[in-house]
């Protein structure tokens, strides 16, 4: 109805007054496709891109991350390639820490069909992310890359397209978001539960979850009932591991799109990542993977269109286990007291041999099985070189809300 009213109003104005055209009008050239290449996805929708640095032939794994204010390389990758690094006076913050940054200056990123020159990579330690994903993480691609291009992420086909800045023809049937921008896109969204709360959140494709809220935002907004059941859990980020709580909100609204029963992580923002009350938290990629997304940083807008993943269920499973790939073995390292994993008898150091007759020794496969299971799951482990069969009763976090 609003569109119709606006169209009628504009038509009336046109009939009453015909403005003269300016003698000179600057029109941006059309955006041109530079390259198109496949990407892979890990648990939570995390995007992995294959790329090279300078003239080195080694293919490296980069996380594509709108939550990164720059571009980075792993410290071991820097050492392996023999790149020079210099200490700077800059610091970076993450959910689990803050640190002063070293840089490797003036290098070239080579993606399939595209070279991006004069990039300054900050240096970080991604050993923890490597063990979490079971894949060597060599770096993160963020704002330093995104500010130069228009990027189309097609989650249906797992294809990424990169265009020059300019006039872009967006697909029909989607919605244009207009986030505020610093180096990160700050998007408005609505959380619904005991109350309906509007807020701004970092648009973060590098976060393998749905929503992450700061504890201050939750306490001040009273969005959840005080007697709400929260489950303790753990996440990994810059600086290491971070204890959090997880629950399920009644709804989340992004633009015109509404999701029901959305898992929400809540963390103590001791390093002020969200600069509360400026921001309430972040929107993760388990929301964004449900859309095909066009990131147009030069024009400060993001276009989203629901894809085939839009109706998929969220992950409501709760194990309380932290599993990592260490020295080629998938090991249980962290166990939350009183959790299903604790009650099943898991101990730190247990080697997971199979989950529900899956013997692949693939950490992504095992995480997917845990995330898509409610109820009893059989796990074969090795403890002190002896096999044991444990049965874990995985909880549904939608219960006892």
What is the tens place of the pLDDT at every residue in 120-145? 999 999 999 999 999 999 999 999 99
Domain boundaries, the chain: 33-163, 180-288, 317-396
What is the tens place of the pLDDT at every residue in 197-234? 999 999 999 999 999 999 999 999 999 988 888 999 98
Provide the pLDDT confidence category of residue 400 given band limits of 50, 70 and 90: low
Across the range 315-324, mean pLDDT stands at 96
**Was domain 33-163 assigned CATH 2.60.120.200?**
no
Higher pLDDT, 3 or 23: 23
CATH of domain 180-288: 2.40.70.10
Across the range 286-306, mean pLDDT stands at 97
3-state secondary structure the chain: CHHHHHHHHHHHHHHHCCCCCCCCCCCCCECCEEEEEECEECHHHCEEEEEEECCCCCCEEEEECCCCCCEEEEHHHHHHHCCCCEEEEEEEEECCEEEEEEEEEEEEEEECCEEEEEEEEEEECCHHHHHHHCCCCCEEECHHHHCCCEEEEECCCCEEEEECCCECCCCCCCEEECCEECCCEEEEEEEECCCEEEEEEEECCCCCCCEEEEHHHHHHHCCCCCCCCCEEEEEEECCEEEEEEEEEEEEEEECCEEEEEEEEEEECCCCCCCCCCCCCEEECHHHHCCEEEEEECCCCEEEEEECCCCCCCCCCEECCEEEEEECCEEEEEEECCCCHHHHHCCCCCCEEEEECCECCCCHHHHHHHHHCCCEEEEEEEEECCEEEEEEEEEEECCCCC
The pTM assigned to this predicted structure is 0.89
Higher pLDDT, 20 or 275: 275
Across the range 13-34, mean pLDDT stands at 62
Provide the pLDDT confidence category of residue 182 given band limits of 50, 70 and 90: confident
Is 180-288 the same fold as 33-163? yes
Arch. (CATH architecture) of 317-396:
Roll (2.30)
């Amino acid at each position: 109805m609003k569109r119709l009213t606006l169209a009628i109003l504009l038509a009336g104005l046109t009939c009453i007054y015909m403005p003269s055209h300016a003698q000179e009008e600057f029109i941006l050239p059309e955006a041109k496709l530079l390259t198109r290449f496949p990407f892979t996805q890990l648990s939570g929708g995390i995007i992995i891109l294959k790329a090279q640095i300078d003239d080195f032939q080694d293919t490296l794994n980069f996380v594509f991350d709108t939550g990164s204010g720059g571009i980075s390389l792993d410290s071991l990758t820097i050492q392996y390639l023999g790149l020079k690094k210099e200490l700077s006076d800059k610091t970076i913050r993450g959910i689990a820490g803050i640190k002063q940054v070293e840089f490797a200056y003036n290098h070239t990123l080579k993606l399939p069909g595209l070279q991006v020159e004069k990039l300054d990579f900050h240096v970080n330690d991604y050993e923890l992310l490597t063990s979490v994903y079971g894949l060597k993480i060599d770096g993160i691609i963020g704002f330093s890359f995104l500010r130069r291009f228009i990027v189309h992420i097609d989650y249906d086909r797992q294809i990424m397209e990169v265009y020059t800045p300019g006039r872009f023809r967006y697909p029909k049937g989607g919605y244009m978001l207009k986030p505020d921008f610093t180096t990160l896109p700050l998007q408005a969204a609505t959380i619904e539960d005991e109350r309906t709360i509007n807020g701004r959140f970092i648009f973060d494709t590098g976060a393998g979850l749905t929503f992450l809220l700061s504890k201050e935002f939750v306490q001040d907004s009273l969005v959840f009932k005080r007697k709400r059941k929260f489950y303790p859990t753990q996440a990994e980020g810059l600086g290491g591991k971070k204890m959090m709580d997880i629950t399920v909100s009644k709804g989340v609204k992004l633009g015109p799109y509404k999701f029901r029963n959305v898992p929400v992580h809540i963390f103590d923002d001791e390093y002020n990542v969200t600069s509360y009350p400026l921001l309430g938290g972040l929107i993760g990629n388990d929301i964004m993977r449900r859309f095909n997304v066009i990131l147009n940083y030069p024009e400060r807008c993001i276009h989203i269109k629901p894809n085939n993943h839009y109706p998929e269920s969220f992950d409501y499973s709760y194990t309380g286990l932290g599993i990592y790939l260490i020295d080629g073995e998938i090991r249980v390292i962290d166990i939350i007291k009183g959790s299903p994993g604790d009650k099943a008898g898991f101990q730190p150091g247990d080697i997971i041999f199979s989950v529900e007759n899956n013997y692949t020794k693939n950490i992504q496969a095992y995480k997917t099985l845990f995330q898509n299971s409610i109820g009893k799951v059989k796990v074969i482990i090795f403890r002190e070189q002896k096999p044991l069969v444990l049965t874990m009763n995985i909880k549904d976090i939608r219960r006892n809300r």
